[in-house]
Amino acid sequence: MIANKHTILPVLISFIFYFAWTWYANSRVTDDVALLLRTALIQSTYSAFMTLTFSTLLIWVINKMKCHDHPYMAILPPLLMQSSMVYLINVLNQTPNLLLTIMPSIFFTAIYGAIFTFTLLKKPEYQCDSKVK
């Protein structure tokens, strides 16, 4: 199952927020407008794409872990993937203010993932069938 219509708004919010945040975070250390624009476009596009990918992977992991004793831990694999990818992409881009650029992405992804996980685990299709245990 891929992410559904409930992920469209978070994807748009992610793009807009991370474009503005990345521009701000890096304008503190450089006046190079071309670098600022490239960095903001890369981070915002990555964040929008990763929001969709993260949601899809999280739904898949929740489906696999719904009968696990701690199904809310389903957030860990997608969060580790997202954190690694955001770091790597920004290192390759030579983002001037790396940590200030990526820390909100990791933090807000963790919050989004936790809320999304608990929301999904309340739905019948993501709850463990008692016969499977």
User: Hey, where are the domains in the chain?
Assistant: 5-126
If you ran DSSP here, which 8-state letter would residue 129 be given? Answer: P
- Tens-digit pLDDT string for the chain (133 aa): 455 666 788 889 999 999 999 999 999 999 999 999 999 999 899 889 988 889 889 999 999 998 988 988 999 999 999 999 999 999 998 999 999 989 998 999 999 999 989 998 998 988 887 544 4
Provide the 3-class DSSP secondary structure of residue 95.
coil
| 12 backbone dihedrals φ, ψ, rounded to 5° | -65, -45
The pair of structure tokens assigned to 39 is: 């960095």
Provide the 3-class DSSP secondary structure of residue 112.
helix
Do residues 124 and 113 lie in contact, with contact meaning Cβ atoms separated by under 8 Å? no
Q: Any idea of the CA torsion for 23, 82, 58, 46, to the nearest 10 degrees?
A: 40
**Of 65, 63, 76, 92, nearest in space to 1 by CA:** 63
